A and B are shown apart, each in its own frame.
Chain A
Amino acid sequence: MLITDSGSLSMDFESLVRQHEVRVLRLTIRLTGNHADGQDAAQEVFLRLHQNLSRLHGPEAVLPWLRRVAVNVCFDLGRRARSRPVVPLDSLTLATGESDPEAQAFTKESRDQLQRALAQLGERERTALVLRELEGLSTAEVAETLGTAESTIRVQIARARLKLRELLKGVTV
């Protein structure tokens, strides 16, 4: 990765994809609610990165930029497909390290329940909660990514937690 005189990034695109693909894929899969859409969204994110690479200043700007674009792409996808498809995420496994088949089946059920519950949340509530928990962003960072006031984000996340709890009643990990 190089930084040119003008401060713009001149780096190997493939190395950028390698560096950020996992985070972007996890985020888009979680936000879109299914694997296929998640990959499509992540691909769109990297295509946009490819087109805008020269505009990014400094390597530290890449990840926040990717996150913002990922959120926007997932919003767009959600608007296009109003009825969000809820597909069991067979290919995804929670990092629980369970080896017991019964426990794995139970975890898979939890996973599906979580994904269905997330899909029923409002777009912004879901995104705020996912950015907070999956990406581990602070409330301020979530607010910056979504372009909303921090206090609004705090309330949105709290309400999203309560709604999710209602939807996940009886489900345990």
Chain B
Amino acid sequence: MTPECGWAERVALAVDDRLVAVEVRQHLESCLDCQSLLAELQVDQTLLQSPPDVSEDLRANFRLRVLAATSNSRRWWFAGAVAASLVVCLAGITVQALRTLPVISYVPPRPQVANVVSPPAPVDLPMPSSSARISRSSPPAVSAGELMNQLATLLQPPSQATATSDAVVVLTTTTSDPEVIIILLADSEGVFND
């Protein structure tokens, strides 16, 4: 029975301690319940210290189980490594085979799109006031050089102009400034147009 004195836990601790505290020893001398408890705990200790018997047959069977399991695990590792190698080899062979095959490509016909001179990007012009900035997106600004290029495609160059009665003779005078070009148009009679 559990002693009513409240010393049970200290008595239980005393089972482990070879050097039982003086006060516990003194209590044990005077408390019969605690003496009885200590004796019972020591019996339990004997019971607990008795190891479960593991027979030789059990050991042998167990060892076989363990060794078989570790060997299986090694076998699985090996099988996994072989499988992974095969997959890598097959992938390599497939890639190589795909590279050697003739490539048949289809190029769709190009849609007919008129050549359009794209307008240049909008230009921010410097304004007197730094805070007031106006973005000009239209009309598109065309530089003098681009205008000349367009004119040149429309008109034959003077050197190739044929002197027919209706032919227009174009005389161009370039200046040192590439942006400034003077164009003089004259008819076959030499009359200049403004």
Whole-angstrom distance between the alpha carbons of A130 and B69 in the complex? Answer: 28
Q: B47 touches which one: A13, A39, A47, A110 (CB < 8 A)?
A: A110
Q: Do A161 and B12 touch across chains, with their CB atoms under 8 A apart? A: yes
A contact residues around B48 at 8 Å (CB): 114, 129-130, 133-134, 164
Whole-angstrom distance between the alpha carbons of A45 and B54 in the complex? Answer: 17
Number of residues of chain A lying within 8 A (CB) of chain B: 46
Q: B12 touches which one: A13, A26, A136, A158 (CB < 8 A)?
A: A158
Whole-angstrom distance between the alpha carbons of A133 and B43 in the complex? Answer: 12
Which of A58-66, A80-88, A93-101 binds B? A93-101
Q: Do B69 and A47 touch across chains, with their CB atoms under 8 A apart? A: yes
User: Is A22 an interface position by the 8 A CB rule?
Assistant: yes
Q: Do B62 and A43 touch across chains, with their CB atoms under 8 A apart? A: yes
User: Is A173 an interface position by the 8 A CB rule?
Assistant: yes
Main secondary structure of the interface of A (DSSP, over half): helix
Q: Do B52 and A29 touch across chains, with their CB atoms under 8 A apart? A: yes
A contact residues around B40 at 8 Å (CB): 165
What residue in chain A is nearest B70 (Cβ atoms)? A50
User: Is A159 an interface position by the 8 A CB rule?
Assistant: yes
A43-B66, A47-B69, A164-B48 provided; 4 other pairs, C-beta below 8 A? A14-B67, A133-B48, A158-B16, A162-B12
Taking Cβ atoms with an 8 Å cutoff, the residues of B that contact A are 2, 8-9, 12-13, 15-16, 37, 40-41, 43-55, 58-59, 62-63, 65-67, 69-70, 73
Taking Cβ atoms with an 8 Å cutoff, the residues of A that contact B are 13-14, 17-18, 21-22, 25-26, 29-30, 38-39, 42-43, 46-47, 50, 89, 91-96, 110, 114, 129-130, 132-134, 136, 139, 154-155, 157-159, 161-162, 164-166, 168, 172-173
**A-B complex: 9 closest residue pairs judged by Cβ atoms:** A133-B48, A158-B12, A92-B52, A94-B50, A161-B12, A158-B13, A93-B53, A46-B66, A50-B70
